[in-house]
Amino acid sequence: MSGGRGDDRGLTVRVKKKRGLKASSRRWLERQLNDPYVRRARADGYRSRAAYKLIETDDRYKFLKKGDRVVDLGAAPGGWCQVAADRVGSVADDIRVVGIDYLPVEPVIGATILEMDFLDEVAPGLILAELGGDPDVVLSDMAAPTTGHRRTDHLRTMHLCEVAADFAVRTLRPGGHFFAKTFQGGTEQDLLNLLKRNFTTIHHVKPPSSREDSVELYILAKGFKGRQAEGDDAAAEQDEAGPLG
């Protein structure tokens, strides 16, 4: 991947009014056609503009390293898998990136893609089996299909983020990282507490490529403390509370 900017210049494209084409659909088409990140993605060979959200965040925080094992939850259409495979050096004879999505994803060089729902109880085990070891990085761009009701959409996507965070805490190698989509409107306190207990630093990130009018926000938890952290915290809480009975 070149990672270059491409040519962001060009005339504004207008979509003509057509019978049967809703005004909202026409506005969406115009936004896509005039989006510089959409043009860059096409020029750079990425599946979608979302690839730049991962690129920009990793350029700033440096959490994808050569040789890392990476899990990509909600991988469709495959842009994050492309970026991850390139940055960790995952190749056909040494796959270090595994993605999962219930939507079909075209093959990605250097990645294994599982076409299934991550919420399926057998999915986590299959991911780890394909990865060949515990991940160094867990990525999640999962979002529930929007209903148009902002509070409902927020709660449904936050649930997916919580499930992804739970997977990360149960599987990451010590020192690993978790990067996931949330929605603006407040990160749920239980999720934030889980991440604070288990990671060294927490960052809320709005990458430049995330549209200004979008409510999406990303959370980056760096420096996984290891799975003893949960047990240590629980023991400390019990000690402070005194003996039971």
Q: Is 120 annotated as a binding residue?
A: no
Residue 62 known to be catalytic: no
Domain 50-232 is classified in which CATH homologous superfamily? Vaccinia Virus protein VP39 (3.40.50.150)
**181 close to 218: Cβ distance less than 8 angstroms:** yes
Q: For residue 213, say whether it is annotated as part of any ligand binding site.
A: no
Q: What is the pLDDT of residues 46-66, one digit of tens each?
A: 999 999 999 999 999 999 999
Is the pLDDT at 8 greater than 70? The verdict is no
Considering 17, 53, 62, 181, which one is annotated as catalytic?
A: 181
Q: Are 130 and 114 in contact (CB under 8 A)?
A: yes
The tens digit of pLDDT for each residue in 73-84 reads 999 999 999 999
pLDDT tens per residue across span 160-212: 999 999 999 999 999 999 999 987 666 578 899 999 999 999 999 999 998 77
> CA dihedral defined by 18, 146, 53, 134, rounded to 10 degrees?
-140
Alpha carbon 169 to chain centroid, angstroms:
15
Confidence class of residue 11 from pLDDT cuts 50, 70 and 90? very low
For the chain, what is the radius of gyration of the CA atoms?
Answer: 20
pLDDT bucket at 229, cuts 50 / 70 / 90: low
61 closest CA partner among 198, 208, 179: 179
35 labeled part of a ligand binding site: no
Write down the pLDDT at residue 241: 40
Helix/strand/coil for 70: strand
Mean pLDDT across the chain: 83
What is the band of 35 on the pLDDT scale with cuts at 50, 70, 90?
low
The residue with tokens 């076409």 is: 115
What pLDDT is stored for residue 27 in this prediction? Answer: 52
78 is in an annotated binding site: yes
- The residues spanned by each domain of the chain are 50-232
